[in-house]
Amino acid sequence: MGISISIKHFGIKLGILIGFLLLFTSCVTQKEFLYLNDQIVALNKRVNSLQETTENKLDSKLVSIREQQAKTDIEIDKIREEMRNVSGRLDENNHLVRHAIERDTIAQDDMRASVTDLKGRSSELETQVNRINAYLGLEIDARQEGQDLKKTPMVAQVPVPQAEAAKKPVPDIKQPEVSPEKRLYDLTLGLYREEKYEEAIAGFKNFIKKFPRSELADNAQYWVGESYMGLKQYEQAILAFQSVIKKYPKGNKVPNAILRQALAFYEIKDKTSARLLLKKLIKKYPKSSEAKIAKAKLRTIK
């Protein structure tokens, strides 16, 4: 009986103790939960604050970047415009240089062709004069001993009766004809002036093949190069000008060929070769008009 009561009391105490422990545990858990909740709320506030601060900074930086980019775009546009202007001036200068060279070269060609033509006419006239003198029975006393030829007045040596003179046929006096060489050269040069470059190339190559020893052969080879320049086939032009330099080293077209070869290299973006050729031209032909052009061009190549 006593033992059962003790067990009963022990059970009651144990139940009270367990209940107290459960209540205490519940209170602790609730406090911890409230603490953790406060911490989370505080962290959220800090994160939101940091996010707002970061967004504001990013927005400010983005605005600054956009402004800087806009300024950069404006500067780039200015630089591009300046580059277009410089490129336009270079193209204009190249055009002027090309036409100046062509004008001088054509003038030289015309003068050389005129001299060649005059030589032919002089020879023809001399032949005709000799025929007339022979017909009239006249002769010229030429006296020259290491000095210039001095002609004495023509003296009739053998009188010719009028009746006999009337029977003799009067020699025909014809205008000297233009040589096939000169005719072909002028015809082909006309094709170049009409900007028929492909036909001009074929014509000048045919001229060189037919008249390889002509005084105009180096000119013809030079105009082959100029025709390729007109077609913007700069590699072919370089080779054609090289033939002028190599095959006709003593010809009057060599300075022009070196200059135009340098400009052709410049057109294909090989500035190093262009500079070397311009310097070579200035050194080898310092007093030539081509050297002056080369100096001006050299200052523009960076």
pLDDT tens digits, 119-146: 666 666 666 666 665 555 544 444 343 4
Range with lowest mean pLDDT among 16-20, 123-127, 147-151 = 147-151
At residue 153 the predicted structure's pLDDT band, cuts being 50, 70 and 90, is very low
**CA 230 to CA 198: how far, in whole Å?**
9
Dist CA 277 CA 108 (whole Å): 23
Cα–Cα nearest to 218, from 261, 185, 247: 247
CA gap 126, 67 in Å, rounded: 87
Q: Could you tell me the two tokens for 298?
A: 């050299």
Q: How far apart (Å, rounded) are the C-alpha atoms in residues 83 and 86?
A: 5
Mean pLDDT of 201-226: 96
Question: Can you give the pLDDT at residue 71?
Answer: 73
Which tops the pLDDT comparison, 99 or 249?
249
Q: Within a domain: residue 4?
A: no
Any domain includes 242: yes
In this predicted structure, which of 51-65, 110-124, 185-199 has the lowest mean pLDDT?
Answer: 110-124
Q: How many angstroms from the chain centroid is the CA of residue 217?
A: 27
Place of tokens 């007339």: 132
Give how many domains the chain has, as a whole number: 1
Is residue 86, in this structure, part of any structural domain at all?
no
Domain contains 280: yes
Digit-coded pLDDT (tens) for 21-74: 555 555 545 665 566 567 667 766 776 777 777 777 766 776 677 777 777 677
* Assigned domain for 158 exists: no
Q: Return the CATH number at 229.
A: 1.25.40.10
User: Looking at the predicted structure, is the pLDDT value of residue 155 above 50?
Assistant: no
pTM of the model: 0.48
- Beta carbons of 222 and 253 less than 8 angstroms apart: yes
Residue 233 lies in a domain: yes
What pLDDT, on the 0 to 100 scale, is given for residue 97? 58
Domain assignment present for residue 57? The answer is no
Q: Which of 88-97, 175-184, 226-235, 242-251 shows the lowest mean pLDDT across its residues?
A: 88-97
Please give the pLDDT value at position 161: 46
Domain assignment present for 264: yes
Task: Report the Cα 12 to chain-centroid distance in Å.
Answer: 112
Domain enclosing residue 244, as ranges:
179-302
Q: Which residues contact 136 (CB under 8 A, 6 or more apart)?
A: 156, 160, 165
Q: What is the DSSP string of the chain?
A: -HHHHHHHHHHHHHHHHHHHHHHHHHHHHHHHHHHHHHHHHHHHHHHHHHHHHHHHHHHHHHHHHHHHHHHHHHHHHHHHHHHHHHHHHHHHHHHHHHHHHHHHHHHHHHHHHHHHHHHHHHHHHHHHHHHHHHHHTEE--EE-SSS--EEPPPEE-S---HHHHHHSPPPP--PPPPPHHHHHHHHHHHHHHTT-HHHHHHHHHHHHHH-TT-TTHHHHHHHHHHHHHHTT-HHHHHHHHHHHHHH-TTSTTHHHHHHHHHHHHHHTT-HHHHHHHHHHHHHHSTTSHHHHHHHHHHHH--
Q: How far apart are CA 200 and CA 189, in angstroms?
A: 7
